[in-house]
Chain A
Amino acid sequence: AQSVAQPEDQVNVAEGNPLTVKCTYSVSGNPYLFWYVQYPNRGLQFLLKYITGDNLVKGSYGFEAEFNKSQTSFHLKKPSALVSDSALYFCAVRDRGGANNLFFGTGTRLTVIP
């Protein structure tokens, strides 16, 4: 069974400081991993994905994530947070050989404090 865990419901960070939003996953095989961001009353926007290759993936708006197979993690990071980064972030996983749909974590609300 596939599952995604985002251990933190809420992350607060000061503007200009680095941010990390944590994600761990469980799949039967090798995963496809994704990060999405959601602003209030809006759909999800794609940030980045890990498919294969370099474990460090760079995405939109200066975000990046590191795939760590041994720790089954895919934490989202940004070197310097902006107030406009405040939103709800979802990690998602899809099994390469499994169903066609994505499984989402419960989401982490990021608040960047001016």
Chain B
Amino acid sequence: GAVVSQHPSWVICKSGTSVKIECRSLDFQATTMFWYRQFPKQSLMLMATSNEGSKATYEQGVEKDKFLINHASLTLSTLTVTSAHPEDSSFYICSVREGTLEAFFGQGTRLTVV
């Protein structure tokens, strides 16, 4: 299956600053990547679908100006949490789909805003 790498694995930032999370598809050219958010002891919630070379599609209730997504190449999508606040602290996970139907996930990024 596809190999997906996220960076960083964890980050602590001050309230009001911005944080960028990278998602790389190492062995597969992904025209579409998915960004999820996971709260403690809860399921994954789809935030947005990242489309290479075009604007991301955001799920209802997700602020596009707060969670900026850039998918500039077939192997890299980035999620920037702008003006982060403690309530943005969460586990963020990206995934790609390799033609077949199952998705392959990055290892996740734990964001803590203090």
Closest B residue to A51 by beta carbon equals B101
Chain B facing A: main interface SS: strand
- B residues within 8 A CB of A45? 105
Taking a contact as CB atoms under 8 Å apart, the answer to whether B43 and A105 are in contact is: yes
Residues of A within 8 A of B (CB-CB), count: 21
The one of A34, A49, A104 in contact with B44, judged by C-beta atoms closer than 8 angstroms, is A104
Taking a contact as CB atoms under 8 Å apart, the answer to whether A106 and B42 are in contact is: yes
B4-38 with Cβ < 8 A to chain A: 4, 6, 9-10, 32, 34
Given A49-B101, A51-B101, A94-B101, are A42 and B43 neighbors across the interface (CB < 8 Å)? no
Q: How far is the CA of A78 from the CA of B39 in the complex (A)?
A: 28
Q: How far is the CA of A44 from the CA of B91 in the complex (A)?
A: 12
- B residues within 8 A CB of A90? 43-44
Min CB gap A92→B, angstroms? 8
B93 within 8 A of A: yes
- A residues within 8 A CB of B41? 107
B69-111 with Cβ < 8 A to chain A: 91, 93, 95, 97, 101-108, 110
- A residues within 8 A CB of B110? 41
- B residues within 8 A CB of A101? 34, 46, 49
B61 within 8 A of A: no
- A residues within 8 A CB of B107? 42-43
Taking a contact as CB atoms under 8 Å apart, the answer to whether B43 and A107 are in contact is: yes
Seen from chain A, the residues whose Cβ lies within 8 Å of a Cβ on chain B are: 32, 34, 36, 41-46, 49, 51, 90, 94, 100-107
7 closest A-B pairs by beta carbon, nearest first, are: A43-B105, A44-B105, A43-B107, A104-B43, A106-B43, A43-B108, A104-B44
Would you give 19 A-B contacts (Cβ < 8 Å), ordered by A?
Answer: A34-B101, A34-B103, A36-B105, A41-B10, A42-B107, A42-B108, A43-B6, A43-B106, A44-B44, A44-B93, A45-B105, A46-B103, A100-B97, A101-B46, A104-B43, A105-B43, A106-B43, A107-B41, A107-B43
